[in-house]
Amino acid sequence: MDKQIEFIKQPRLMILSILDKFTMEQLNTIPAGFNNNIAWNLGHMLAAQYGIFYKRAGLEIDESFYQLYKPDSKPEGQITQAQLDEIKSMLITSLDKLEEDYANQIFTNYPTWTTRYGASISNIDEAIAFLPFHEGLHIGYIMAMRKLV
């Protein structure tokens, strides 16, 4: 499990270090041709993690946060520095929590589902294996947007 978490954590740390040089205005800018911004993509990575692991397993999540960044949502306004700081922190601490919850075997009620990309996921291990693919897509969007803001 440690290696799987590392495959998620290292790209997150890399993108966070790249984005440290950007202003809040840049992070909140929606570039032409996109329907969201860098800040939304960071929040969406977390919302996807919560949705894929916890919500799908019937476990409680912060629904208000999830609603802001769930699939097919769009930025509802500018995020603040405090909100961004919380997201940046949670991108790392949520992985520690995932590791703890996995060790405590809380994902026992995990149903089979099919991603919008056609992959069938039937347990928490497959979900954890899928997350780096999803995050890679959003890191790609972030990398493209950073050149436009």
- The mean per-residue pLDDT over the stretch 125-132 comes to 95
Report CA-CA distances (Å) from 38 to 11, 18, 55, 107, 129.
Answer: 15, 12, 24, 30, 24
pTM above 0.75?
yes
pLDDT of residue 103: 95
Q: How far is CA 102 from the centre of its chain?
A: 18
Whether the CB-CB separation of 24 and 81 falls below 8 Å is answered with yes
Range of the domain at 19: 2-146
Residue 109 is classified by DSSP as: S
- Residue 104 sits in a domain whose CATH number is 1.20.120.450
pLDDT, tens digit, 9 for 90 and up, residues 5-38: 989 999 999 999 999 999 999 999 999 999 999 9
- Cα angle vertex 145, ends 90, 27, to 5°? 50
User: Confidence class of residue 2 from pLDDT cuts 50, 70 and 90?
Assistant: confident
**Number of structural domains the chain divides into:** 1
